[in-house]
Structure 1
Amino acid sequence: MTGQAFVRTVLGDIPPTALGLTLCHEHLMTAPAPRLRDNDDLLLDDEARATEEVAIYRSAGGGALVEVTVAEFGRDVAALARISRASGVHVVATTGHVSVDYWSGVLDIEDRGVDQLVEEMTVELTEGIGATGVRAGVIKAGSSRDTVTAAEERVLTAAARAQVVTGAPITTHTTAGTMAVDQARVLTRAGADPQRVTLGHLDRRLDVAEHRALARDGFTLGYDCVSKEWYEPDSARVQAILRLVEDGLVDHITLSGDLARRSSLVSWGGGPGYSYIPWRLIPWLRREGLDDESVRRITVDNPARFLTWHEPARP
């Protein structure tokens, strides 16, 4: 779709208007780092169950999701393509890296320079991941709790530079909702466009004043731990969303659940599953007074705008 606005999915490029309701931060297939196995609850290795879960989401009105699993967390883009084809749900795959907790003992990220990371990201975005021919549609970078390590800063810098080269969007991982301001500073210093960046997991720490300031700087707020009551109750998430909408920042919010555990997925006998947001959270927001236009902007328009590739800047 050269010359046109597009979203890059695992099955190819599509118009942004084709996405529909979109979850912006989820996991379908994982093989987590040794330090993060947690008795295999974090191991999502059954393609049939993943396809079933996505089909349930589609029955709830879901049209697309961003699968943010990176190499150190067991990314399998060939499986993602099969799941997307079987379920009819658009899936966007990810390049980049998360944080030291994930890559330690799995990948040699500590030894990679910025240029090497930029090349890796650019190839996976524009040519394909490994021999699969499947291309990533979003760049991921992240940081540790209450700090950004030197290697994490290199990954964030590389993500920004890869965005400049390709025009791809960036999504981030903030551990426990911390260091978002620092991530924003590193990314913008390296050339990233704030309007092309979603800062993730901000609803793990509902500092609405900080979120308001980030949104006013152009960033999208990833409220993507929905249903995880042990971080923040959904009642607080709902109120935070309403406050941001009242402040005129409805165009800076996206939703997701970041569900990466068997115990969180219906197909594994757990819950609430990917369908929670369309079936439970959206009706809750409406009951609290959020109008249909705002619901559409948060769940359909904002993800589509965020995921749309922009023509890279010319030298």
Structure 2
Amino acid sequence: MSVRTVLGDVPAAALGRTDYHEHLFQVTPLLPGDELDDERRSGQEAASLRAAGVDAVVEATPIGLGRDPAGVARIAADTGLHIVLTTGAHRQEHYAAEHPLLAGTEEHLAELFTAELTEGARDQAGRVLPQVRAGLVKAGIGYWSISPFEHRVLAAAGAAHRATNAPVMVHLEHGSAAFEVLEVLAGHGVAANRVVLAHADRNPDPGLHAELCAAGAYLGYDGMARHREWPDSVVLDCLVATAERGGAQRLLLGGDVARRRRYRAYGGLPGLDYLPRRFVPRLERAGGAELVHTVLVANPARLLDWATPPAA
């Protein structure tokens, strides 16, 4: 086994520079007017990422939020990007109260997530696409809170992981409850080194981050180009400081742009290629080429590889 992409399994060493967190399709009631629902435009945005030197990307939209597995596969074929599709579910607030996913039992969710990893992802009409399988399981929590639904999703993600050794991504709201999530997942059989904590940099605390890395978890840095909250220098300094504290082998980079108004192909700014064109050169100047290779190539390849042992 290697890395499961929408066009089939590829050796981890073939991934190249990997953006661990983007969205090509997404529709959520939390972001009205920011829908990513146009395959042509999303494909153009993905092509810009490829042209800027990114070789692989995780499409991090889980079930029930406008995800389009067939569209993602076509974009992968058209652009040459290795794209890893995501199964699982987001934090509860992303789903309308009547959404059927919210009523799913732990057992049902586990069966669904596992089937998407091993048999084929479901399209928005519920049809299974056996030629397009997911390669990662996602869960999400609120700000210092885990609802009953979110607990069921974490448990189901654990079951799907145990069945496949697929990696698990967890959305941390504002970077909160990181150790608490690792504890919950450990209780469901997921070792920390098979987990990436998305948005860890929304709490830019290099001391905490070094502790999380020492525990084995991967940390997703994806808060660049959010200048209303902080300048890129905050993310950059936190990453370099965490690496200097021994965490370099557990850091990942992504853009998580995720909004129509921020995609150039949809008429917005700054576009998906902000990460490789603007942020990565600054990281290389601040931390060196070896650190860039570690966070963009070596670390995502290790995390996304289904053959990586739980204790690595």
Give the equivalent residue in structure 2 for 1:151: 149
Partners of 1:194 and 1:6 in 2: CA distance: 19
- Runs of 4+ that moved beyond 6 A: none
Partners of 1:265 and 1:106 in 2: CA distance: 30
Partners of 2:23 and 2:49 in 1: CA distance: 13
Helix, strand or coil at the partner of 2:204: coil
Q: Identity across aligned pairs (percent)?
A: 40
The answer to whether 1:19 aligns with 2:15 is yes
Give the equivalent residue in structure 1 for 2:265: 267
Give the equivalent residue in structure 1 for 2:79: 87
Please show how residues 1-315 of structure 1 align to structure 2 within 5 Å.
5-32=1-28, 34=29, 36-38=30-32, 40-41=33-34, 43-105=35-97, 107-130=99-122, 131-133=128-130, 134-288=132-286, 290-310=287-307
Query: Which of 228-237 and 64-73 deviates more?
Result: 228-237
Helix, strand or coil at the partner of 1:249: helix
Partners of 1:37 and 1:235 in 2: CA distance: 27
Query: Which of 230-239 and 43-52 deviates more?
Result: 230-239
Helix, strand or coil at the partner of 1:211: helix
* Conservation of the 8 A alpha-carbon contact between 2:64 and 2:101: no
Helix, strand or coil at the partner of 2:246: coil
Query: Which of 102-111 and 221-230 deviates more?
Result: 102-111
Give the equivalent residue in structure 1 for 2:125: none
Any unmatched runs of 5+ in structure 2?
A: 123-127
Helix, strand or coil at the partner of 1:53: helix
* Conservation of the 8 A alpha-carbon contact between 1:165 and 1:312: no
Q: For residues 288-311 of structure 1, what are the alpha-carbon distances to aligned partners after superposition, in whole Å with 9 as ceiling and x for unaligned?
A: 2x1211110101111111110038
* Conservation of the 8 A alpha-carbon contact between 2:64 and 2:89: yes
Partners of 2:120 and 2:258 in 1: CA distance: 24
**Over aligned residue pairs, what C-alpha RMSD do you find?**
1.6
Partners of 2:178 and 2:100 in 1: CA distance: 25
Helix, strand or coil at the partner of 1:72: coil
Alignment coverage as a number of residue pairs: 304
Helix, strand or coil at the partner of 1:248: helix
Partners of 1:160 and 1:232 in 2: CA distance: 34
Give the superposition deviation at 1:106: 5.3
Any unmatched runs of 5+ in structure 1?
A: none
